Structure 1
């Protein structure tokens, strides 16, 4: 009785290809063992070894293909996970940037509102009232007693609510500083703070004192015609002269 060796081998190889779920060792044991038993009684000598070699090569190819497929699947899963993590990170960064931008915009809005509030200061607090006649002279004709009183108040922090004095911003012992170039002009003259915060094109010495009381020193304006306001204004007239290098009485 003849035996179709080639047909049997093709049948075994086809069966092996369809069973990709097997691992190579298991496939070798299952198929190779069966072939070896069958071949032992019906195949000619030497045929078993050849078939087993061919089966080993086929099993290795199947196992390699299976391993490559698993590796590709793992790589795709890792790539998807990385993409998801990157997307989540970008979303968090965008949310953080939007929050920072919102906070900055809010801070800018508050600063603008505060600046607008400063620019809308009450001019009536710092501008000479109608019919007011000062008791000092802006021509430098002020007596020594008035100047001495003004100098003492220049260093007095009790005039403010925040611990400042006139000297805190403008120096002491003749160290005149913190003045704009317009301070070189005799009173009345233009002052940036008066114009920006109170809409006043120029100020007298007593008006400048009132502006400093209300703004930097955060206090109530001094009473118009009071000794404090009069002596401080007279002192500032002499400071202005000293600042420009003109003769003064300090």
Structure 2
């Protein structure tokens, strides 16, 4: 059985990705940050549906936690699957922000965004790399906000910048890890209904119609839409794809 490590797997896109890859016969090690309950519930649902899963706590922005997390992954692999390696890494954990003008952006916000979206996944991937099998795959959940083709939204200069950095990192890692046959790709969701940003669409449903009207396919994205693309990028069918970022926005802004 192949095994995937999925960060931020207790809600939103990460949770949907955990369900989707488990449905395809892949074992899942998912991480949660603040809610052990949601993490354990996600793992339990996967098990109830016939899959295998383990939930582990991780603050991806904490560099001091990485060595301990690698040991926890090693232990879970041995105890749950009788393995000493895993096959796929989905760098999905993230944190949203409300719009903050450039002039008012604080160093605290800047450091938080860099820590969660760039420094964290960068060194997490480095830490877990010795446990990955040759011929495996890495996927980054970035954002359409980080694409050169996007229309910049005022107030998101930090978020867009770190997500753009993930796109660049995807290409560099694809080159460096290709010697081991490890593919590295990214998916760039557009506007998607998740818990990020204070669960904005649940709190403000009036925001949905104008976004849907600006989207070619006529609705906002759902976590399951993006999860299916993540599962595809991990699959043999994507075996000739690397260094790519696939925009998953339903044609927003067309």
Short-chain TM bin: under 0.3
Greater share of strand: 2
Give the number of the structure whose alpha-carbon radius of gyration is greater. 1
Greater share of helix: 1
- TM-score, L = length of structure 2: 0.19
- TM-score, L = length of structure 1: 0.19
